[in-house]
Amino acid sequence: MTVRWRGADGSLSEAALARVVVEDLLAGALVREFRWYRGRRFYSGWHWSAAMQQLIAYESRRF
């Protein structure tokens, strides 16, 4: 299995799953943008994580 991610500087990286350095993934940039509009079936945004001491992206579904 191959994993691809975008680094904090915007560069694209790829490696076998067994060789991925977790810290590289955690330091990477968000690739997907959140969009908001009326009538959307998903809720997405940012949540402050006291444990991580930073904003965390989230997306949830309502049924």
Q: Residue 50 carries which DSSP code?
A: T
What does pTM read for this prediction?
Answer: 0.47
The number of distinct structural domains making up the chain is 1
Q: Which amino acid is at 7?
A: G
pLDDT recorded at residue 63: 52
Domain of residue 19: give its range.
2-61
pLDDT recorded at residue 59: 79
34 contacts: CB under 8 Å, gap ≥ 6: 44, 45, 57, 59
Average pLDDT per block of 10 residues along the chain, 63 residues long: 87 92 86 71 83 84 62
